[in-house]
Structure 1
């Protein structure tokens, strides 16, 4: 979701030579622990309030690892960046648009096995396929109930925030941020699409995920074993952000695609989740915040991707959406997560 505050962009070339940098000794693993399951290696503000090729580098809502190892970064202002995975320096940017040439409220991102980009927009909502150059190739069908009211039961700015491809590449899963009208508050839907023999995706099962009170789901990522890393996030004026990382398991969850409203029906099994870390408990590593935060490291964290493994842990990269707001920060976070 976006605040519509505008900020005059500041052109800077700092990012071109800036790596994710740790604020503290690299061998002090104990001081970097957020929980027994999660530690933070470093953070970077290198891209904050910068521009590239005339485009503001901010409003980042999703990350994905490209086939060549670079990073794809999606702005919710309808721009898709390629970033160097080591320095985070932008290397290219392409605009995205719908069938009519209208800019998207782009939120979720997957790089498919052929290199094309699957991108969600929460305006309708939609899932569209684009070439690497930003050309619109295809649109996926969306179940009617998941469309924004009055066409469906979704609330504006509360639909497809996250997108991930499950292991094997046959199932695409989206996370809705907030509950549909008629569903119990705190129960959000995770719809899936199944890849057909001709390479298209068709709607398949839906699952119900229990989100913490007052929070929404801005991002979801499949782990190599088929479980999910789920970000839950909220904001309280004068207090700041709440950001929690959960491990979720679809196994044994009920397919709710045929259930009109989710209101505590007996026999409906929700997705099971386990808290990995509340990121407010992470060490701040010297970070500063321009607005009140329970931990100055925190901001409006919205994007997440798994970049690799480090021994028994996954390497996970997060990014915050600065909403083009002078008191918010575009910040990258490098985590190690044991699942």
Structure 2
């Protein structure tokens, strides 16, 4: 959940620190199984023939909606397995599990087998019922065990949701002074460091940490935010890291940078997106290894449930795919 908005919300952002978004009530019950409608979007609406940003080749993009639920919104992070299975957490503690659909050439054309459910607290109650301080989920990671990790802002914490569906338990988190609403946006499993290892990074400072369930968290390198904010990260083979940065200005609108870093946090490659490209409030990043060293990146946007500070916006839930070769 973030202060970035579309043109109708831009005036609320100019020259001031914006309050947290005011969101519509959550309609219940949840639809456990939902059909996701996917409309194709071009990389560049002004030039549909454009298919690359530097060495990042566009592999399809979708505008996601559903007629079966009002909860397919606010998606703050995403992780995708090599078999196409995805998990995404919304900033109101909804969990989406689904599968990306590719055509014969590997381009993204749809999302199928979608299930949407509410994350629960240790008592079995919906986290949503505890209010924004409890439900503001931002990062998601899946460990080798199948257990799920979710990071939260406002009440800064990491919860571990067991694969077997048992109640969540606290997971190690950096022992630092947290800045309100600028906490652990980045979260990803780090299998190279161990089956219980994961990385997290701070939205506002770029400080990253290596954590283990067994031993806790230790500081790693600072990520150069280049004046932006960190919204997501994922690990690449051989210990490299991909990070997603986001900015907004009333004149320029939304902008993002995808950066690939080596083990010391130095930039290897990257791309930037801003208007007139298809860009929105992208907050989620997944890196999927492919043949020949190729990496497929998936980016998902948080539409803030179509509202910001009580006003409607034109934000959308977008899922974009890019292929990159080192």
Common fold: TM-score over 0.5: yes
Q: Which runs of 5+ in 1 are unaligned?
A: 146-151, 180-187, 252-270, 281-293
**What's the counterpart of residue 172 of structure 1?**
198
State the Cα distance separating 1:60 from its structure 2 match: 0.4
Alignment deviations for residues 265-321 of structure 1 (CA, whole Å, 9 cap, x no partner): xxxxxx3224411123xxxxxxxxxxxxx2250000111112341544211111000
Q: What is the aligned residue count?
A: 278
* Other structure's SS at 2:35 match: helix
> 1:322 and 1:17, CA in 2 relative to 1: closer, same or farther beyond 3 A?
closer
* Separation in structure 1 between the aligned mates of residue 117 and residue 82 of structure 2, nearest angstrom: 18
> 1:169 and 1:88, CA in 2 relative to 1: closer, same or farther beyond 3 A?
farther
The answer as to 2:266 corresponding to 1:272 is yes
State the Cα distance separating 1:105 from its structure 2 match: 0.8
1:88 equivalent among 95, 108, 111: 111
The answer as to 2:66 corresponding to 1:40 is no
Asked whether the 8 Å contact 2:91–2:137 carries over to 1, the reply is: yes
* Separation in structure 2 between the aligned mates of residue 20 and residue 134 of structure 1, nearest angstrom: 33
Work out which structure has the larger RCO, using CA pairs closer than 8 Å and 6 or more positions apart in sequence: 2
Asked whether the 8 Å contact 2:233–2:243 carries over to 1, the reply is: yes
* Separation in structure 1 between the aligned mates of residue 82 and residue 122 of structure 2, nearest angstrom: 27
Mapping of residues 1-339 of structure 1, within 5 Å:
1-3=1-3, 4-6=21-23, 16=35, 18=37, 21=40, 23=42, 31-35=50-54, 37-47=55-65, 50=66, 52=68, 54-66=69-81, 69-86=84-101, 87-89=110-112, 91-99=114-122, 101=125, 102-103=127-128, 104-132=135-163, 135-145=166-176, 152=177, 154-168=178-192, 170=194, 171-179=197-205, 188-196=206-214, 202-213=216-227, 215-251=228-264, 271-280=265-274, 294-309=275-290, 311-325=292-306, 326-339=313-326
* Separation in structure 2 between the aligned mates of residue 237 and residue 97 of structure 1, nearest angstrom: 37
* Other structure's SS at 1:329 match: coil
State TM-score, norm by structure 2. Answer: 0.75
* Other structure's SS at 1:279 match: strand
Deviates more, 1:215-224 or 1:133-142: 133-142
> 1:158 and 1:172, CA in 2 relative to 1: closer, same or farther beyond 3 A?
same
Q: Which runs of 5+ in 2 are unaligned?
A: 4-20, 102-109, 129-134, 307-312
State the Cα distance separating 1:327 from its structure 2 match: 1.2
> 1:114 and 1:211, CA in 2 relative to 1: closer, same or farther beyond 3 A?
same
